[in-house]
Structure formats: C-alpha cells, structure tokens
Amino acid sequence: MIPLPRLSRSARFASLVAVALALGACAKPGPGDVSASGVYDPAERTNRSIHAFNKGFDRAIFRPVSKGFTAVVPDPVEDALINFSENLSEPSDTVNFLLQGRFPEAGRSLGRFVINTIWGLGGLFDGATEMGLAPTDTDFGETLYRWGAREGSYVELPFFGPSNQRDAVGVVTDFFTNPLSLTLALPLDNPGFYTGVVQRTIERGRFSDTIDSVLYESADSYSQARLIYLQSRRFKLGDTQSGAFTDPYSDPYDDPYADPYADPYDDPLSSSAPIE
C-alpha cells in the first residue's frame, strides 16, 4: 500500500476553507423549500435521527453527569474553569476577527488573552474585564457569513446539536484557526477541546431547567430546538436574509407572561410528562 502524503496544517486549513465556500455556494434553497418560519431542512429525517441519538446521550450520560458536577463543584471553581476555557479560545477569536477585517475586536481579543494569561493565572481569572476589555467572541461560522457564504440547510450534529451547513464547517475549521493548535499533531491534542467539554458540562448543569424544558417537556423537541437555534444564531449575526429573524430575548406578542421557551407546535390542551 502506497502511503499518502501528509498535508501540512496550512494546506488542510486551505482545503477546509475551499470546502466551506463550496458548500456555501451550492446550499441555496429553491422556491418553496423554506417554510414560513424560515426553516430550510431537506434532511429532516436524518436530522431527527441524530437528534434522537443526542437526546438519548443527554438523558443517559450528559445530563446526570453535568447535574452531578455542578452539585459537587463550587461555583467559584466552575467560574474559573469557564474562564480558563474561554481564554484558550481567545487566539482563535483573534484570527477570526482578523479574517473578518474587524481589527479593533482582534486587538481586544488578543489583549484579553495576554492579560488573562499573565495576570489571570493562565486564564483562571478574568482580569481583562476589570481593566475595561469586555469579552467578545466569534467563530469561523461567522467569518464565513461575513465572507458571503449562505447559511445552507439546517443540520443536527452528533454531540454538538443544532447547526447549519455553514456553521458545521466552522465547527471543524475552528480546530485549525487557533494558533495554539499549530504545534500539535492532532486537533484532539488541543487542551481547548477538553476544556470546552468541561465548559459545556458546567453550562448544561447550570441551565438544566431551561434545557430540560426544550428537550423533555416540548411536544416536538426537535422543532423547538431547531427554531431556538436558528433565531438565536441569526440574531447574533444580524442575518435578516435567511428567513425568520427574531430577537430571542424579546416577546413578539409583547406578553410579559408568555413562556419564551414554549413549543410553537404544542397544543395548549395537551400535556407531556416531565423527565424522570
């Protein structure tokens, strides 16, 4: 068997960018493909299968582990772990801000990384915010958006959850946009990957009630999670062209008693049993 040549990191990154732009160029929905709520989901059957897998994984492993973790670990320790994880992502944010042409944000992200790494004990403490450098974040999915790549169809990723074609490419590419990974043989060697898992575990435990209401108390958890993701992502990017554009933090009916996480497909006369 002839060994295949090993691509350099820059070549692999360039290949990923090419694939990302190709996906964005060919991911335009046709007339009638987008629903009234701005959802383009031609692979819904497959996505629902992945959603069922993610939901089963959450119920069996992720949910109990995260709730146990947050019950045992003190909040200040959890805050320090989140700070450490976010600090490791700052170099990736800096690169993406540069690729987007947002140089002030790139300087702020780099400044936060330097300050928190040196004076924040490796990022365990967020001294940069106290010095006036407020946190900001981005990713390669946003970079592709600013380059003009289309959102594409909705995608449910194993373990990661709701996404779309453009952001799914960004999830993979962000392994390579972090300069800390340039000296590592594999993306999984990056400590930021593992700290990211810890951060998601903490957030799953802290926001358990809200997440449970979507996954286990909705008549259709797939549709609910999809709608929340698309609206939140489009609001963050300021994307008014991809369909439904709604501020997820405001009530479109101006009802102070409405549940912002209510399932839009739910029948108010029906009920569902809570998770055990």
DSSP element (H, E) containing 17: helix 9-26
Strands (E), 111-226: 154-157, 161-164
Tokens representing 176? Answer: 């390579």
pLDDT score for 254:
42
The pLDDT of residue 8 is above 90: no
SS3 156: strand
Least confident span in 68-82, 138-152, 175-189: 175-189
CA-to-CA distance for 149 and 20, rounded, in angstroms? 8
What pLDDT is stored for residue 257 in this prediction?
A: 39
Q: Indicate the helix (H) or strand (E) that contains 59.
A: none
Beta partners for 164? Answer: 154
Q: What is the pLDDT of residue 59?
A: 97
What per-residue confidence (pLDDT) applies to 253? 39
What is the C-alpha separation between 237 and 224, in angstroms, rounded?
Answer: 20
Beta bridge partner(s), residue 157: 161
Our measurement of the distance from residue 204's CA atom to the centroid of its chain's CA atoms, rounded to an integer in Å, reads: 13
Lowest mean pLDDT across 94-98, 168-172, 245-249: 245-249
Whether the per-residue pLDDT at 1 is higher than 50: the answer is no
Residue 14 predicted with pLDDT over 50: no
List, for residues 155-208, the tens digit of each pLDDT value: 999 999 999 999 999 988 887 777 766 555 555 556 777 888 999 999 999 999
Tell me the H-state helices in 100-190: 103-119, 127-130, 140-146, 165-177
pLDDT, position 195:
87
What's residue 173's pLDDT?
A: 86
Cα 169 to Cα 140: distance, rounded to the nearest angstrom: 8
Between CA 167 and CA 149 the distance in angstroms is 10
> Cα separation of 123 and 82, whole Å?
9
State whether the Cα torsion 105-108-114-117 is positive or negative. negative
Within 10 angstroms of residue 207's Cβ, the number of other Cβ atoms is 12
pLDDT band at 2 (very low <50, low <70, confident <90, very high): very low
- C-alpha to C-alpha distance for 126 and 120, rounded to whole angstroms: 6
Task: Tell me if 149 sits within 8 A of 164, measured CB to CB.
Answer: no
Beta bridge partners of 154: 164
Tokens of 225: 């999670």
Q: CA 123, CA 125: separation in Å to the nearest integer?
A: 5
The pTM of this model reads 0.76
Instruction: State the Rg of the chain over Cα.
Output: 20
Question: Residue 186: what pLDDT?
Answer: 54
**47 or 273: which carries more pLDDT confidence?**
47
Instruction: Identify the residue whose tokens are 């979507």.
Output: 214
Tell me what percent of the residues of the chain surpass a pLDDT of 90: 61
Q: Give pLDDT, residue 178.
A: 75
- Which among 160, 142, 163 is positioned nearest to 96, based on CA atoms? 142
- Rounded CA separation 32/232 (Å): 23
> Using 50, 70 and 90 to split pLDDT, how confident is the model at 19?
low
